[in-house]
Amino acid sequence: MRATVVCSLLMLSLMGGRAFAHARLQASNPPGGAVLAQAPSQLRLRFNEVVRLAGTGVELAYPDGHSRLLGPLVQDPKDVRAVFADLPPGLPPGHYAVNWRALSPDAHHTHGAFAFTIGR
């Protein structure tokens, strides 16, 4: 009886870990808070798990307040947990905010933001 209870609890704990998974941003390039001499050509986001590209997106907020959706996102062929987005060419100097949203394989949505500066 005791072995059955222990096995049942172990199985529930293993299943629960996957059920409550959420995609969290682990790293970005450029990193949050970076001050860059030149505008990068791409944005790279790395998550703690694989994300569904269809439900994942990135918005770039410009220094003047307008924003633009980036895409399409492309999965990094060297790291399935990372995605790339091309940045518009010729970004002028200023402070940029990156707003991201991600969709986990188990359909949980997460979101966050970070910023970087060009030329200051």
What residues contact residue 66 under an 8 Å CB cut-off, 6+ apart?
Answer: none
Structural domain boundaries, residue 102: 22-118
Quick: pLDDT tens for 71-93: 999 999 999 999 999 999 999 99
Q: What is the pLDDT of residues 16-57, one digit of tens each?
A: 444 456 899 999 999 999 999 999 999 999 999 999 999 999
Nearest to residue 73, comparing CAs of 52, 89, 99?
52
Query: Which residue, among 116, 109, 112, has the nearest Cα to 87 in the 3D structure?
Result: 116
First to last CA, the chain: 67
Q: Is residue 8 part of a domain?
A: no
- Domain membership of residue 11 (yes or no) is no
Q: Judge whether 16 lies within some domain.
A: no
pTM (two decimals): 0.81
The pLDDT score that the predictor gives to residue 11 is: 44
Structural domain contains residue 57: yes
In a domain, 93, yes or no: yes
| Sheet strands (E) in the chain | 25-29, 35-36, 42-47, 57-61, 67-70, 74-76, 79-86, 94-103, 109-118
Q: Is the bond preceding 72 in cis, omega lying within 30 degrees of 0?
A: yes
Residue 4 has pLDDT above 80, yes or no: no
Mean pLDDT of the chain: 87
Greatest C-alpha distance within the chain: 69
Comparing C-alpha atoms, which of 118, 116, 120, 119 is closest to residue 44?
A: 116
* Number of structural domains the chain divides into: 1
Phi, psi of 68 (to 5 degrees): -145, 135
Residue 110 belongs to domain with CATH number:
2.60.40.1220
Q: Is residue 13 part of a domain?
A: no
